[in-house]
């Protein structure tokens, strides 16, 4: 083929090919009509898809990806326009967390308090009225110990205590936002007595009425601290209510001068017991003291409270002190004494600062003064010590805030 013929052939082929291309690309009105037809068809598909989508709307709290989540109020699941079919909650390592769907199947929550510093995952399935399923997933991490605080409180929930028992709360982190934390704590009494709280330091707050609690009253402590910022970046996690009952009104008065203790109930003396208080060199603190702990037997080592000999050993180390009841954090007790001569009780003060009562070794004789007083005392009872010649015990040395007058006590409130 000559070059001219070849070029002509190519031109014809190109023309034919071009015609095909033109025909393919420009179906004119037919292509336009086809496009409109596709739009209509897509609309029908979209409408059908919309009809198949569940109307159930699931909400998980906290939001997916949350940090420092509450251990009390997190992991709540609710649904509107439908009912819950299944809720699965696990820790990051796959451990299942028990929970319960409400009777109307519109909410779910865990059966127990969550753990701190733990990542949880939740997978939810719900259905609408037509049985169409909706799904939602979330993951969150609860507040860490470093970013949270708790308050250890006394007395225990459900206990019966003496009329002098304050509510004492010790926080495991220093509290700088005292007012916010105090607002989250409520102490009330069935007696209607006004209760005020006093901060001794950044970690301790005690609450009490002006006078001793009324006999037989019920005291309620409410902690609504969940999410309360106690210090910068440190949040409360407690949300609970506890209560305790005030027992009979017993106040005992120790007179170091007469070496006698008068045990009174409702202001009437029910028993007088000879005692031996602190020696002239080791006087017993004066003031109103509250029994905070009871031990049938306990060890007392002088080295733990500063009584040491030249070798640094305790001046005394008694491993089986009977019927001991704590009156101060610093080591003041009222307890049984079996090692002292019976003649000292009621006649001479010989102790290192405690109040001693005649007793026997082994704490197994119920007829001794030490055993009687132990058996007839409860935590929260008041022991008033006078005429020792020593200073009044500090209000924060034990549960002894009664040694502060009402005006001073209220002045220590943050609100």
**Residue length of the chain:** 415
Classify the phi-psi angles of 185: left when phi > 0, otherwise alpha if psi is within -120 to 50, otherwise beta.
Answer: beta
Distance between first and last Cα of the chain: 109
Closest C-alpha among 391, 401, 316, 383 to residue 350? 316
Would you say residue 310 has pLDDT above 70? Answer: no
pLDDT tens digits, one per residue of 370-379: 999 999 999 9
Active site residue 335: yes
Q: Pick the catalytic residue from 197, 207, 323, 354.
A: 354
Q: Do 187 and 219 contact (CB within 8 A), yes or no? A: yes
pLDDT tens digits, one per residue of 354-374: 999 999 999 999 999 999 999
Would you say residue 14 has pLDDT above 70? Answer: no
Task: Give the helix ranges, DSSP H, for 302-405.
Answer: 369-375
Distance CA 319, CA 301 (A): 8
Mean predicted lDDT score pLDDT of the chain: 88
Distance CA 91, CA 110 (A): 12
Q: Would the pTM of this model clear 0.75, i.e. be above it?
A: yes
Q: Do 338 and 359 contact (CB within 8 A), yes or no? A: yes
Q: Is the dihedral of CA 341, 345, 349, 355 positive or negative?
A: positive
Domains in the chain, start-ordered, CATH in brackets? 57-143 (2.60.40.3780), 147-247 (2.60.40.3710), 250-400 (2.40.440.10)
pLDDT in the model for residue 41: 59
pLDDT tens digits, one per residue of 181-230: 999 999 999 999 999 999 999 999 999 999 999 999 999 999 999 999 99
The neighbour count for residue 112, using CB atoms within 10 Å, is 9
The neighbour count for residue 35, using CB atoms within 10 Å, is 10
Would you say residue 145 has pLDDT above 50? Answer: yes
Contacts made by residues 189-193, CB under 8 angstroms, sequence distance 24+? 189/213, 189/214, 189/217, 189/218, 189/219, 189/220, 190/217, 190/218, 190/219, 191/217, 193/217
Distance CA 410, CA 208 (A): 10
Distance CA 301, CA 316 (A): 6
Q: Pick the catalytic residue from 197, 207, 323, 335.
A: 335
Active site residue 354: yes
Question: What tokens appear for 78 in the block?
Answer: 């609710």
Q: What is the mean predicted confidence (pLDDT) over 330-354?
A: 95
């Amino acid at each position: 083929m000559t070059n001219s013929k070849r070029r002509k052939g190519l031109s014809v082929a190109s023309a034919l090919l071009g015609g095909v291309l033109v025909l393919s690309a420009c179906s004119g009105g037919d292509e336009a009509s086809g496009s409109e037809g596709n739009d209509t068809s897509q609309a029908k598909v979209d409408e059908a898809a919309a009809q198949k989508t569940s109307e159930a709307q699931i909400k998980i709290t906290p939001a997916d990806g949350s940090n420092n989540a509450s251990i009390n109020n997190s992991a709540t699941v609710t649904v509107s326009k439908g009912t819950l079919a299944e809720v699965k909650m696990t820790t990051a390592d796959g451990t299942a967390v028990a929970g319960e769907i409400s009777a109307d199947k519109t909410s779910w929550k865990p059966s127990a308090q969550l753990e701190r510093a733990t990542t949880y995952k939740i997978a939810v399935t719900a259905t609408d009225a037509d049985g169409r399923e909706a799904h939602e997933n979330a993951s969150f991490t609860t507040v860490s110990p470093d970013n949270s605080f708790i308050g250890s409180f006394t007395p225990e929930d459900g206990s019966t205590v003496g009329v002098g028992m304050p509510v004492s709360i010790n926080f495991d982190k220093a509290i700088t936002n005292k007012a916010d934390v105090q607002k989250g704590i409520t102490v009330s009494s069935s007696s209607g007595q006004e209760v005020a709280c006093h901060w001794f330091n950044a970690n301790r707050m005690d609450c009490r009425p002006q006078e001793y609690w009324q006999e037989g009253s019920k005291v309620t402590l409410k902690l609504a601290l969940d999410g309360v910022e106690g210090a910068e970046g440190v949040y409360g996690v407690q949300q609970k209510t506890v209560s305790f009952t005030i027992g009979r009104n017993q106040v005992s008065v120790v007179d170091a001068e007469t070496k006698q203790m008068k045990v009174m109930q409702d202001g009437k003396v029910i028993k007088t017991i000879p005692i031996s208080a602190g020696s002239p060199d080791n006087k017993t603190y004066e003031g109103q003291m509250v029994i905070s702990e009871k031990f049938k037997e306990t060890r007392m080592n002088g080295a733990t409270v500063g009584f040491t000999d030249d070798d640094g050993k305790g001046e005394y180390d008694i491993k089986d002190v009977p019927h001991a009841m704590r009156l101060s954090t610093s080591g003041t007790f009222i307890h049984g004494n079996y090692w002292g001569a019976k003649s000292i009780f009621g006649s001479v003060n010989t102790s290192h600062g405690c109040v001693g009562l005649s007793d026997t070794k082994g704490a197994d004789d119920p007829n001794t003064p030490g055993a009687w007083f132990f058996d007839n005392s409860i935590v929260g009872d008041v022991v008033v010590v006078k005429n020792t010649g020593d200073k009044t015990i500090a209000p924060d040395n034990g549960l002894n805030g009664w040694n502060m007058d009402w005006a001073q006590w209220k002045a220590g409130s943050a609100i």
